[in-house]
């Protein structure tokens, strides 16, 4: 329970600081070895300690300490005895290194002007700048008292001196967390007319990348780092500030000047230049020493401390940390596991009140955006909030904004630990894109290195991204276009090596044993055309030219979709023993009505040879008329089938259709309701038929039913990879003579060589050939291999 005190208490911390407090936590529960104990605590801002248990607590719990055994025993009457054992392993090198460092890090040594260094702070003003002179701010009595004390301390150290400069800016106080007033000089007007120093600032992510493999860390924080660098004598007058007690100017670099940060980073980089990227990271006045083991860390600390001593740079011992396996550095927690967010910084985001203006939304996004590399889909989450910050946008806090804000807080609390990259190992980029934004994940050894995302602006969403890569030269730098290796093929090989089913088949294949699968093509337009032409013609680069021709065909690109089989296994129908014994059937209605009154097509397919019949029909046909068409077109040419598979259309489930086939001895098989995959062959054939109908509408004139016989002829003479031949050849035993078999060459005609094939009842070699191919294809749907060009024994030459 939090209780306010009647008056403030002055608390002296173990490092010598004085903190003022006015509240106490009564009966706070502390767990020691799992046993609950009550204690009164005073909340303090401690850098390195979680809790300090004083003599009042030790006295109340009858505590005794055994330094030899490294134990603390609590023997409070009426309670069980509790023994707390500390860490027995004491690393003497750590203690010795810290004790040696303390002498160099005492702030008492920083009591005079710093020595002359290789660089000094300079400030160049814009040409024609008039002297800046501002009236001093008014201050409260306690502030005036504090101002006088701090001024005297700066004068005693020689940091400031009285000035007669015509320039003068104001001073004010800022209250720190511990209640101490900090003197600040308002140099904003001077910074507006100062020429900027373009010294590069380090990137945080680049600094963290240097920590890969590090196991031990030490952090050294310089004491009043800016005051350890002198101002050039000619520029001292530009630092003048004014208050009630007169004019003063800085002889050392003050805080608040626009170029102070750049000059200080330049100084530190020059001092530790030879150790950067090896075991030292510099960021402003923080020095991070990292090593892979204890021996190396001891040597690295010795080098850094010796360098500080030689350059007469001093640090504040209370803010330094040594020999840690996990350390907080610039808002991040760094450890051997990687980089994670600082819980204290995350707490500030979690406790953020609901924004009430666009400015507050920008502040929230700015703080959350500092950790955007830890948040997947950051841009997508921020979309409702960024919409509030746009120009002329009305501020309305909607439910989407609330959800976005809460999701940000949730993601930050559960943010992952990002691994540090390892030199020499490959990176993998997983990327995704939509019309709203881009996103990617950088990974190494299946560990996340960083997340990245970007919202697309309105003009970027409307960009013709398909045409631009083909017609415009990329504006990206070469560094963004080079060095990326596609590891997809390697990943496929690696995954296949772990597939036990494939490995068994590969083993049989290597031993020369028969396996139940073969590699084949997916059967796109270019492959079908190549299969048809290669039987009669051959020319160099034949396959490639056919692919290029199909790619340039506008009709093919608009209508001929690539339909691939879904991944996984399924159970196909049993393979028929003879042609047109097992067929499938379906209707395609909804077509434009022709002059003959046709508005639909009856599709009938032989499951063995893939031969297809396209019969034009009317939606108003009765079952008697459909039965007559079936007898005239199918039964009269191919005989009575053994079975017919179809959908549960009302025309097939009525009484007449089942009675007709029962009398003929034909079995009817209906697909599962609302499951079109049962008869996938009919579905795929209708899709191809629709493409052919669209192509006829675009290229040919007249009604579609007048071209339907040609469509049937073309479809039955297209190569089918499942039977390794065209349906016509599978049905009649030899290829059909098509327009490909003749060609005008000047004044002569080509003579085409055909392989004569007599197909009788006793000669079933062709039947066996495509039956074996069908069996092999049915067993392994989903594997594919590009057709290689085959050179026939004889050639037909063409002249141009």
Average pLDDT over all residues of the chain: 76
Q: Is residue 58 within 8 Å of residue 73, measured between CB atoms?
A: no
Statement to judge: residues 727 and 706 lie in one domain = no
478 domain residue, yes or no: no
Rounded mean pLDDT of 729-747? 65
Statement to judge: residues 144 and 32 lie in one domain = no
329 domain residue, yes or no: no
Statement to judge: residues 303 and 370 lie in one domain = no
Residue-level pLDDT at 674: 56
Last residue of a domain, one of 412, 444, 472: 472
591-622 tens-digit pLDDT: 888 888 888 888 888 888 888 888 888 888 88
| 665 vs 749, more confident | 665
State the virtual CA torsion across 307, 310, 314, 318 in degrees, nearest 10: 50
Statement to judge: residues 79 and 213 lie in one domain = no
- pTM of the model as a whole: 0.47
Statement to judge: residues 524 and 511 lie in one domain = no
Q: Is residue 536 within 8 Å of residue 740, measured between CB atoms?
A: yes
How far, in Å, CA of 635 to CA of 641, rounded? 8
Range of the domain at 74: 2-89
- Mean pLDDT check: name the lowest of 13-17, 492-496, 510-514, 516-520: 516-520
330 domain residue, yes or no: no
Last residue of a domain, one of 309, 326, 352: 309
Residues 6+ apart with CB under 8 A from 413: 346, 350
What percentage of residues in the chain have a pLDDT greater than 70?
A: 78
75 domain residue, yes or no: yes
How long is the chain? 800
Rounded mean pLDDT of 701-709? 81
47-51, 64-68, 237-241, 538-542, range with greatest mean pLDDT: 237-241
- Let me know if 373 is exposed, middle or buried by CB neighbors in 10 A (0-12, 13-18, 19+): buried
637-686 tens-digit pLDDT: 888 888 888 777 777 777 777 787 788 888 887 776 655 555 667 777 88
Number of domains in the chain: 6
Statement to judge: residues 607 and 701 lie in one domain = yes
- CATH number of the domain residue 214 falls in: 3.10.10.10
761-770 tens-digit pLDDT: 334 545 555 5
The pLDDT of residue 550 is above 60: yes
Statement to judge: residues 404 and 504 lie in one domain = no
How far, in Å, CA of 312 to CA of 316, rounded? 13
The pLDDT of residue 221 is above 80: yes
Other CB atoms within 10 A of residue 658 CB: 14
Statement to judge: residues 615 and 710 lie in one domain = yes
Statement to judge: residues 664 and 704 lie in one domain = yes
| 791 vs 201, more confident | 201
Go through 52-78 and write b for each residue having 16 or more CB atoms within 10 A of its CB, e for each that does not.
eeeeebeeebebeeeeeeeebbbeeee
- CATH number of the domain residue 582 falls in: 3.30.420.10
562 domain residue, yes or no: no
Please work out, in degrees rounded to the nearest 5, the angle formed at the alpha carbon of residue 548 by the alpha carbons of 543 and 463: 145
The pLDDT of residue 461 is above 80: no
578-592 tens-digit pLDDT: 888 888 888 888 888
The pLDDT of residue 460 is above 60: yes
| 541 vs 301, more confident | 301
Phi, psi of 100, rounded to the nearest 5 degrees: -65, -35
Last residue of a domain, one of 53, 68, 89: 89
477 domain residue, yes or no: no
Statement to judge: residues 579 and 498 lie in one domain = no
The pLDDT of residue 566 is above 50: no
Statement to judge: residues 466 and 487 lie in one domain = no
Residue-level pLDDT at 92: 42
Statement to judge: residues 116 and 229 lie in one domain = yes
């Amino acid at each position: 329970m939090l209780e306010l005190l009647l008056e403030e208490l002055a608390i002296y911390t173990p490092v010598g600081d004085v903190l003022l407090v006015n509240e106490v936590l009564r009966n706070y529960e502390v767990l020691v070895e799992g046993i609950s104990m009550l204690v009164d605590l005073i909340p303090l801002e401690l850098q390195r300690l979680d809790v300090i248990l004083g003599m009042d607590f030790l006295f109340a719990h009858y505590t005794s300490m055994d330094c030899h055994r490294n134990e603390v025993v609590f023997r409070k009457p009426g309670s069980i005895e509790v023994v707390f054992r500390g860490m027995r392993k004491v690393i003497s090198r750590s203690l010795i290194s810290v004790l040696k460092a303390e002498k160099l890090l005492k702030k008492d040594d920083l009591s005079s002007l710093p020595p002359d260094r290789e660089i000094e702070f300079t400030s160049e003003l814009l040409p024609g700048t008039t002297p800046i002179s501002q009236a001093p701010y008014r201050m409260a009595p306690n502030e005036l008292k504090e101002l006088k004390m701090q001024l005297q301390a700066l004068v005693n150290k020689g940091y400031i001196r009285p000035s007669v400069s015509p320039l003068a800016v104001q001073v004010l106080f800022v209250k720190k967390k511990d209640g101490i007033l900090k003197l600040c000089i308002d140099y904003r007007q001077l910074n507006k007319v100062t020429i900027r120093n373009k010294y590069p600032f380090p990137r945080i992510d680049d600094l963290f990348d240097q920590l890969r493999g590090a196991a031990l860390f030490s952090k050294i924080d310089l004491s009043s780092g800016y005051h350890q660098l002198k101002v050039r004598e000619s520029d001292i007058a530009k630092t003048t500030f004014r208050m009630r007690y007169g004019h003063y100017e800085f002889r050392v670099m003050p805080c608040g000047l626009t170029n102070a940060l750049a000059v200080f980073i330049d100084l530190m980089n020059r001092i530790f230049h030879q150790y950067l990227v090896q075991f030292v990271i510099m960021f402003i006045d923080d020095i991070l020493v990292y090593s892979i083991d204890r021996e190396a860390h001891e040597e690295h600390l010795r080098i850094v401390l010796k360098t500080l001593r030689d350059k007469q740079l001093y640090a504040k011992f209370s803010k330094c940390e040594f020999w840690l396996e996990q350390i907080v550095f610039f808002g991040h927690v760094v450890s051997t596991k990687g980089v994670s967010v600082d819980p204290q910084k995350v707490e500030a985001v979690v406790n953020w009140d609901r924004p009430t203006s666009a400015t507050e939304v920008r502040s929230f996004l700015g703080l959350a955006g500092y950790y955007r590399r830890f948040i997947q889909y950051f841009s997508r989450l921020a979309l409702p909030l960024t919409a509030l910050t746009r120009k002329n946008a009305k501020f309305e806090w909607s439910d989407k904004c609330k959800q976005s804000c809460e999701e940000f807080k949730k993601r930050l609390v559960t943010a992952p630990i990002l691994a540090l990259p390892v030199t020499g190992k490959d990176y993998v980029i997983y990327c995704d894109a939509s019309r709203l934004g881009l996103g990617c994940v950088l990974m190494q050894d299946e560990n996340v290195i960083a997340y990245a995302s970007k919202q697309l602006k309105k003009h970027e969403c409307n960009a013709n991204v398909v045409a631009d890569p083909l017609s415009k030269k990329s504006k990206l730098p070469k560094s963004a276009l080079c060095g990326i290796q596609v590891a997809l093929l390697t990943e496929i090989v690696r995954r296949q090596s772990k597939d036990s089913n494939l490995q068994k088949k590969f083993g049989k294949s290597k031993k020369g044993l028969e396996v139940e699968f073969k590699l084949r093509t997916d059967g796109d337009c270019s492959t079908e055309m190549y299969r048809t032409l290669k039987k009669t013609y051959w020319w160099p680069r034949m396959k490639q030219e056919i692919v290029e021709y199909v790619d340039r065909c506008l009709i093919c690109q608009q209508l001929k979709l690539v339909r691939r089989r879904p991944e996984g296994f399924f159970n196909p129908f049993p393979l028929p023993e003879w042609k047109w014994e097992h067929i499938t059937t379906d209707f395609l209605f909804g077509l434009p009505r022709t002059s003959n009154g046709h508005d639909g097509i009856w599709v009938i397919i032989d499951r063995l040879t893939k031969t297809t019949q396209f019969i034009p029909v009317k939606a108003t046909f009765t079952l008697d008329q459909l039965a007559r068409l079936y007898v005239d077109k199918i039964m009269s040419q191919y005989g009575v089938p053994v079975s017919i598979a179809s959908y549960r259309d009302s025309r097939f489930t009525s009484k007449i259709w089942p009675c007709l086939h029962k009398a003929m001895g034909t079995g009817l098989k209906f697909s599962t309701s609302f499951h079109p995959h049962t008869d996938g062959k009919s579905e795929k054939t209708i899709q191809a038929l629709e493409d052919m109908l669209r192509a006829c509408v675009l290229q040919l004139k007249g009604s579609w039913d007048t071209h339907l016989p040609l469509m049937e002829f073309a479809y039955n003479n297209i190569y089918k990879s499942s039977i390794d031949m065209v349906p016509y050849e599978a049905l009649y035993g030899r290829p059909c003579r098509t327009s490909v078999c003749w060609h005008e060459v000047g004044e002569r005609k080509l003579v085409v060589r055909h392989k004569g094939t007599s197909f009788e009842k006793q000669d079933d070699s062709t039947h066996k050939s495509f039956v074996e191919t069908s069996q092999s294809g049915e067993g392994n749907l989903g594997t594919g291999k590009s057709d290689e060009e085959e050179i026939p024994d004889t050639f037909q030459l063409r002249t141009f």
